[in-house]
Structure 1
């Protein structure tokens, strides 16, 4: 457990170094095993095959019968020119007496091996001999005469130690080992720098994030997982930066919106408190102004609370089937006085068969805010048109006016908090700059979208598109 904890708390550089050490040890072990493999499978097998070939070649000179002096002379001559030692023995049991070193003849050729010799099979013998201080390889080839063992040819050769076999290649092996070490070290060092540099930068920038500095970005140098992590970190930084900027803008806008009514309330209440008015009518006027600005602040706070709830992830929206044209007419009735006051004509082209699935109160709030905006921005006698249509997929509701209109740049910002196309007039008439932001959020909660089409001096058309859920379910 302690080792596990130490490993988990170690730095990445330490882990990479340990990994490099493990790789190096495994490589050395592999090299050691590979050399022994070469020694065993190349050198030893080559000696064994060479001795066997010599023994079989000498055996081919024997025909049959008793071993002749001529055959013995031939073996003695061949022994002088061969690297191996060659012995001719009539009885395998006498082999130990012929060898130039002490050996247990009973252990040299067993009864089982003697039976193998009688079948014409050769024997391979390997053993350590103290006199030579090395391994001895021997090959025993039988000489048979009609299934009778008349003698054996014994060839043996001291095996060179492994260090002698590879004596010539040792410098090469050392050179290759050094080059291998340097290459591995360079690769590991390069990989560690590639892996660790972005992580070090992320660690440094994460500390900056904790301090509230969201401007830093990590250079993305690769397209692998580390590069992807760096991109994700940058995206997070950008999101936090944007969120932080929005928070600052929001607080600045709230402070700005509250500053004016608070200054009115403070100023006029001071006038009333100090009795700096001349008539009672003037005092009533100041009280009315205080009341108006207080109501404006109350609307601002209510709108902010409403918007905060709507932007929550689990806002409860209770939906039900609603006759849409009736909902629109009920909302329009609340604006009769405003329409007459501004000499505006209202035209309605509503499809009475439209049934929408939604929240009655929230849908009425959407229509109310949009109609209030249309009336507010219509300064001269004009026309406001309401229309609704549907198809198999969607329900469309449009409000059009011929008022002041908006530019393309202004349309982009519609729906943002506290955004006004005509700040002076909107503030004068008591708007909070949150109405369309609330409408936008309510439309999204109903699964719809909001579209604006406007030209300066020619008016604005707002179109709401809602899903036609009853048609999709085949109930209409």
Structure 2
């Protein structure tokens, strides 16, 4: 036999599945309640009929026991007639099965044959199709020995049961309709947030990513689903905008060196081959642009991968002070006209679990930016200190500074406050984005403070405590 689930089409919508199962549950509960009620009523009515016939028997038996002869028993007929009820027969049968007298109310005498009983008995029978309850009880008085026989027609009982059965059938049919309507309403209410989400998705497909699901005031699982969907769409929209901006910026940045290289190669092809000076100059400029392209592609790959393919590598304890001093020394060698003052407020044994090349690259990016944008006042300050929870590195220059409205944007890829000046300085606008990506790997942060035209300070913080699968330690 197939299950109910197997009977449902596989392609049926969830709203109809929910309607079906909700209606089935409501109908099952209703029918179960009705069945229990039906059984209880039947049992109660049956017990009531038995109690009524037993009560009648007790009254008649008690009255007949006071008789002193058969004649007094015959004289009790009038009293017994008063005790008799509708659809009931009372008969006194002698020991030899002869009937002393019969009192009946809508119960034919021939439905049940008279007989003397040796012991008390209460039985049900259906001689003519009607249900009868027969109660016999022997008794004995002076001069007479016989049986009291009461026959009760359960017509009223049958009529009540038939009415209840009819009512059950009618209410069952009504219950089927109401359960379907109730199931539909229930499914509509439960699926209302999902339907809203589906409409929102269709709108997003047609009009873009700016549409969101309306969140109800009530807080339940569907509300949480809607909130999560909106957050997901916010992240998706942000990622899409960043990707679109990245493609536009990358296209713009790559177009300039490629155009320059193409122009010089065209110049060489036209008449530069016969002019050594033009040939040499065009080749040098083309090589410079090619090197810039290589650096840019390398930086883009760094941002794409984060150079974190070594996530399974074991991090070693790196002595921070030595790494910082080496980077500062290298910059002083390459830029002797700059004054780079360093204040490294950590011991030589202070260690941090970090990839050495990552730390070097972060410091190099920050120092390189400081040098590029502080041509007028060639003074740079570097401070390294630690608290109980983090290591902080500050680099401050006294260069052109950053306008306040540009501070939140300078970490974005390819973003430059002065594009012409930055290009002239050789920057691609990717350094801070790479530094931020590297810091995110170690749960670190980067903060930029600046007064336009006066100074710029970059502060990075790297946690010292255990976080995720990256371990930090302080000696």
Task: Calculate the TM-score normalised by the size of structure 2.
Answer: 0.81
1:263 and 1:246 map into 2 onto residues whose CA distance is 25
CA deviation map 1:98-130 (0-9, x unaligned):
792255778x95x6xx2xx4xxxxx43222221
Once the two structures are overlaid, the 10-residue window that deviates more, 423-432 or 10-19, is: 10-19
Q: Following the alignment from structure 2 to structure 1, what is the Cα–Cα distance between the partners of residues 358 and 451? A: 29
Indicate the residue corresponding to 1:124 in structure 2. Answer: 122
Q: 1:92/1:348 Cα in 2 relative to 1: closer, same or farther (>3 Å)?
A: farther
Alignment of 1:57-456 (within 5 A): 57-63=59-65, 67-79=69-81, 82-83=84-85, 84-91=88-95, 100-101=109-110, 103=112, 114=119, 117=120, 123-130=121-128, 133-143=129-139, 150-160=145-155, 164-165=159-160, 183-200=178-195, 202=197, 214-221=209-216, 223-275=219-271, 280-310=276-306, 315-316=311-312, 318-336=314-332, 339-340=335-336, 343-350=337-344, 351-353=346-348, 354-456=350-452
Correspondence for 2:105? none
- Equivalent-residue separation in structure 1 for 2:343 and 2:141 (angstroms): 125
Q: CA deviation at 1:373?
A: 0.7
Moved more, 293-302 or 218-227: 218-227
Give the CA deviation at 1:369: 0.6
Single out whichever of 450-459 and 268-277 deviates more from structure 2. Answer: 268-277
- State the secondary structure of the residue aligned to 1:454: strand
Residue 54 of structure 1 corresponds to: 56
1:38 paired residue number: 41
* Greater mean alpha carbon deviation, residues 172-181 or residues 27-36: 172-181
Q: Equivalents in 1 of 2:393, 2:34: separation in Å?
A: 80
**1:245 Cα deviation after fit:** 2.2
Secondary structure in structure 2 of the residue aligned to 1:347: strand
Unaligned runs of 5+ in 2: 103-107
Mark the CA change 1:254 to 1:474 in structure 2 (over 3 Å): closer, same or farther.
Answer: closer
Please tell me whether the aligned partners of residues 397 and 465 of structure 1 are also in contact (alpha carbons under 8 angstroms): yes
In the alignment, is residue 460 of structure 1 matched against residue 456 of structure 2?
yes
Q: CA deviation at 1:135?
A: 0.7
- Displacement, 1:315? 3.6
Contact 1:420 1:426 in 2 (8 A): yes
Distance 1:274 1:144 in 2: 147
The DSSP-based 3-state class of the residue aligned with 1:378 is coil
Q: 2:338 touches 2:379 (CA, 8 Å); kept in 1?
A: yes
Q: Is the 8 A contact 1:331 1:364 kept in 2?
A: yes
Relative distance call for 1:167 and 1:473 in structure 2 (3 A) is closer
Change (3 A) 1:431 1:189: same
Moved more, 64-73 or 418-427: 64-73
SS in 1 for 2:402: coil
Alpha-carbon deviation of 1:58? 2.0
**Contact 2:93-2:148 within 8 A present in 1 as well:** yes
Inter-CA distance 136–331: structure 2 relative to 1 (3 Å threshold) = same
Residue 163 of structure 1 and its aligned partner are, at CA, apart by 5.9
Counterparts of 2:347 and 2:17, CA distance in 1: 73
TM-aligned CA deviation for residue 265 of structure 1? 0.9
Q: d(CA) in 1 for partners of 2:177 and 2:373?
A: 77
**Which whole-Å CA distance do the structure 1 matches of 2:19 and 2:234 have between them?**
35
- Unaligned 5+ segments in structure 1 are 118-122
Alpha-carbon shift at residue 189 of structure 1 (Å):
2.2
Give the secondary-structure state (helix, strand or coil) at the position aligned to 2:427: coil
Instruction: Report the secondary structure of 2:460's partner residue.
Output: strand
Structure 1 residues 202-254: Cα deviation after superposition (integer angstroms, max 9, x where no partner):
55666777899544444445644344434433333333333222222211111
Deviations, residues 389-411 of structure 1 (Å, cap 9, x unaligned): 22333222211112222244433
Deviations, residues 144-167 of structure 1 (Å, cap 9, x unaligned) = 569x99433222210026562267
CA separation of 1:322 and 1:181: change in aligned 2, threshold 3 A: closer
